[in-house]
Chains A and B, each alone.
Chain A
């Protein structure tokens, strides 16, 4: 019973963080702030949901593969975010500051 409650909590927490990344993708004014928000909340949300799915399975092949997927996403998602931000910075995208006349906010 405890495992069910715990996995339910984990999954709802993960969904909460995924909605945070959705809100961040819209509300924030500039590419760099959006990438900052998405990079972190995506990984955490996915990790929590995957752990929430792996818990009730106990020690089995599926939960092992789920944990492998969680570790992989823990490494891959921030890397992908870093790749985009570095490409944006090196290709000359200026960060949004107070002085910027028309922030790319929409």
Chain B
């Protein structure tokens, strides 16, 4: 069973450079945001899988819950800021 968790962990780690490429390459600032948001939601999953592999699932689920909350609040703050910044943001 842990082999499956390890394989899923490796698959998600293999996906990270894709979103880093999008965050680095993205022409507009919003492409960068969507890339980082993709990384953040993957890292929630990464934390849960690490917990499943190491056995301390309880602790890691709380970590990923906290991280998910922070990610949403961060997205809201960035969205509100860029919305008011107007067309210069592009």
Interface size class of A (residues with CB under 8 A): 35 or more
Is B65 touching A104 in the complex (CB atoms < 8 A)?
no
Chain A residues closer than 8 Å to B37, beta-carbon distance:
38, 80-81, 84
**Are A61 and B28 in touch, CB under 8 angstroms?**
no
Q: Are A8 and B4 in contact (CB under 8 A)?
A: yes
Q: Binding site of A, secondary structure by majority: helix, strand, loop or mixed?
A: helix
A25 and B76 within 8 A (CB) = no
Contact partner of B22 among A34, A53, A83, CB < 8 A?
Answer: A34
User: Residues of A at under 8 Å CB distance from B?
Assistant: 4, 7-8, 11, 14-15, 18-19, 21-22, 25-26, 31, 34-35, 38, 42-43, 45-46, 49-50, 53, 56-57, 61-62, 65-66, 68-69, 72-73, 76-77, 79-81, 83-84, 86-88, 90-93, 104, 106
